[in-house]
Amino acid sequence: MPETSLISFDSRFAFPEGKPLPDFSALTASDYADAFDRAMAAHGAEIDAIAGDPEAPSFENTILALERAGRPLSRVASLFYALAGAHTDDAIQGVERDVSPKLSRHGSRVSLNAALFARIDALFEARHTAGLDAEALRLLERTHAGFVRSGARLEGTARERFADINARLAELGTRFSQNVLADERAYARPVTEAELEGLPPFLVSAMADAAEERGLTGHAVTLSRSITVPFLSYCPNRALRAEIFDAWTRRGETAGERDNRPVLAEILALRAEKAALLGFPSFAHYKLDDTMAKTPDSVEALLRRVWGKARERALADADTLRQLAADTGDNAPFAASDWRFYAEKRRQAEFAIDESALKSHFQLDRMIEASFDVAGRLFGLRFEALSDAKAWHPDARVWRVLDADGAERGLFVGDYFARASKRSGAWMSALRSQHGIDGGQTPVIYNICNFAKPAKGQPALLSVDDARTLFHEFGHALHGLLSNVTYPSLAGTAVARDFVELPSQLYEHWLTVPAILQKHALHAVTGEPLPQAELDKLEAARTFDAGFDTVEFTSSALVDLLFHKEGQAPADPMAREAEILSGLGMPAEMVMRHRSPHFAHIFSGDGYSAGYYSYMWSEVLDADAFEAFEEAGDAFDPKTAARLRTHVYSAGNSADPAALYEAFRGHGPDPDALMRKRGFAA
């Protein structure tokens, strides 16, 4: 179905001729609600026509027809969920709560359509004699697997229960996400002039902007990571650090309507029941069966291998920080809220790295340019700013993306600043995905970040971690922009969960390539490049606090895995969380990166459920992959970059991820590369 069908459906949801994006301001919450209903009905009619086709099933009249179906629904959903994540309000949230179970029910009507699955199953059984090319065969196999995993083989009451479970999970995931956002929006702790003592100017400026956004005078601490983390790193007031840390780590635990603890308990129970209906021992077995890892045991083995080394390092670091606190006269028991403050003091003492001063060299605009520069050096891409283009918020910026030959690859939208209408975190998604059928379609990809917005007239300054986040999300964006496949369902980031983080995590490596830092890490006032001595310090400190970072992550990944690995969901997930951490020997001076009541990766949807480990699994791949450039002696080696583009960034899900990786690297990933990267190698 071409773009013209979207115009006949409702021109406001189409990409207008001569304009890069639809006009978000022309669409109201009720417009989206109505459009969802009409688009689901239209898609349902298309599905019925495919299922009821009197002709014998063929790739063209069944699989390709499915690829063409539902484009108005995809477009409405892509615009709506961009808004729901990046610039929501009460009306949009109301539609989100209403439409989530409707979309789930609609999806179940498709995947549980017996006549439709019979056609797909017949094609699957004859797949090796159908004369399909490799990508068409891959699409058929993935379509068949998707239907089976979505309950197509279930019968009778099991089919009905499966659809009920999915609808309820969609409803609960929306509630979980909205509860976390509500807690974040509700919290703004005014800070007095005296309490600003010791805070760097960039943070004071961000706190002033946060207060103004919420209608407060002076300065305020919010629960945005871009404010909370630096506040905990620089605030010398121990009691105030503890207060902010407690609020930050207890998001999702507000008693009453916003309490996520009963929500996540029900989610876990329903997931366990869903897996049992499909014949799996646990939800983790169900989710991991369709990944590179394959089994919960293989994931747990990786996580526990890393856990031991990380915990050992973290405990030693805790002793060092406790002594540092005592040496400065702080003899109170060392707490988790103290870690970042004394780690920053230690960083300055051991490496003479002043994170506050370092931020002056990491301007947001320069880092955006740096990410574009790397894409140009590796893949020949160029980016042209479209200053008149409007997205969902004035802060969002739009670029046209051109290939080396001048052909348009697509559009990129970057929305970088935190605000009360945006959910926390950072992510990539698509307003339109690439494909090559019916004349083809270029992608429209966006990145969402939550960096602190500076005072008017001042440059936005990033920490090194912020800059790394920008590069990470842009790596995802390139996975979408460089996609070069035929079928929409195989395009871009539609890959195994433990492979999808490879393009993003790998891209982080280029942030600290000396040629990139020397060109783009320029001082915000003097314009001077980051001195070589500072570059050397950054490299020397590369694995500083690696124990802390790894324990934070791995504890979260293990809790996620073990929550979902047991056939029966825990009756009290918070008690089970505490039991798991106790069994691991979690250092008392640390907490999980994401405690369960605000663990949106896991509970706002099924995407990363039983799959938070995938960041570490992909890190094995990214560490080994970057070593290919190091072996070539050039971070921008053309031959290595060409293989990377062909077999990773452009390939989508056109082949098995293990085969794609080996085609790029020449061999499978080396697990020890992860240990070397994190500084845990023997």
Q: What is the CATH number of the domain that holds 441?
A: 3.40.390.10
Contact 494, 391 (CB under 8 A): no
Q: What is the total count of domains within the chain?
A: 4
Please determine, for residue 8, whether its predicted confidence score (pLDDT) is greater than 70.
Answer: no
Give the per-residue pLDDT at 223: 95
Contact 26, 92 (CB under 8 A): no
Q: Are residues 26 and 104 in the same domain?
A: yes
Give the per-residue pLDDT at 555: 98
Q: Which region holds residue 652: left if phi is over 0, alpha if psi is between -120 and 50, else beta?
A: left
For the ranges 3-12, 65-74, 244-253, 503-512, the lowest mean pLDDT is seen at 3-12
Domain boundary among 446, 461, 491: 491
Q: Are residues 236 and 297 in the same domain?
A: no
Over the stretch 251-285, which tens digit does the pLDDT of each residue have? 999 999 999 999 999 999 999 999 999 999 999 99
Q: Are residues 207 and 141 in the same domain?
A: no
Q: Are residues 368 and 322 in the same domain?
A: no
Q: Which of 473, 501, 589, 619 is catalytic?
A: 473
Q: Are residues 330 and 424 in the same domain?
A: no
Active site residue 473: yes
* pLDDT above 70: percentage of residues in the chain: 99
Where residue 538 falls among pLDDT bands split at 50, 70, 90?
confident
Please determine, for residue 24, whether its predicted confidence score (pLDDT) is greater than 80.
Answer: yes
Q: Are residues 580 and 604 in the same domain?
A: yes
Give the per-residue pLDDT at 585: 97
Where residue 6 falls among pLDDT bands split at 50, 70, 90?
low
DSSP state of 528: P
Q: Does residue 132 belong to any structural domain of this protein? A: yes
Average pLDDT, the chain: 95
Q: Does residue 98 belong to any structural domain of this protein? A: yes
Which secondary structure element, helix H or strand E, spans residue 618, and what is its range?
helix 614-632
Over the stretch 547-567, which tens digit does the pLDDT of each residue have? 999 999 999 999 999 999 998
Q: Does residue 463 belong to any structural domain of this protein? A: yes
3-state secondary structure of 497: helix
Where residue 607 falls among pLDDT bands split at 50, 70, 90?
confident
User: What mean pLDDT is predicted for residues 77-96?
Assistant: 97
Please determine, for residue 354, whether its predicted confidence score (pLDDT) is greater than 90.
Answer: no
Please determine, for residue 2, whether its predicted confidence score (pLDDT) is greater than 60.
Answer: no
Give the residue numbers spanning the domain of 315.
Answer: 266-353+545-609
Contact 448, 415 (CB under 8 A): yes
User: What mean pLDDT is predicted for residues 202-226?
Assistant: 94
* pLDDT above 90: percentage of residues in the chain: 91
CATH number assigned to the domain comprising residue 110: 1.10.1370.40
Please determine, for residue 627, whether its predicted confidence score (pLDDT) is greater than 60.
Answer: yes
**Tokens for 604?**
């706002």
3-state secondary structure of 430: strand
Hey, which residues does 401 pair with through a beta bridge?
383, 410
Q: Are residues 21 and 147 in the same domain?
A: yes
Give the per-residue pLDDT at 27: 96
Is the torsion defined by CA of 450, 455, 459, 465 positive or negative? negative
For the ranges 7-21, 28-42, 56-70, the lowest mean pLDDT is seen at 7-21
Helical packing angle, 464-481 and 497-508, nearest 10°: 120
Give the per-residue pLDDT at 4: 52
Give the per-residue pLDDT at 603: 97
Where residue 131 falls among pLDDT bands split at 50, 70, 90?
very high
Q: Long-range CB contacts (< 8 A, 24+ apart) of 493-496?
A: 493/428, 493/430, 493/652, 494/433, 494/652, 494/653, 495/652, 495/653, 495/657, 496/290, 496/291, 496/292, 496/653, 496/657
Q: Are residues 32 and 148 in the same domain?
A: yes
Q: Are residues 146 and 197 in the same domain?
A: no
Q: Are residues 54 and 19 in the same domain?
A: yes
Please determine, for residue 1, whether its predicted confidence score (pLDDT) is greater than 70.
Answer: no
Q: Does residue 439 belong to any structural domain of this protein? A: yes
Longest dimension (CA), the chain: 83
Residue with tokens 């997931």: 271
- Distance between CA 299 and CA 288 in Å, rounded? 9
Amino acid making up residue 91: A
User: What mean pLDDT is predicted for residues 642-663?
Assistant: 97
Residue with tokens 């697509």: 410
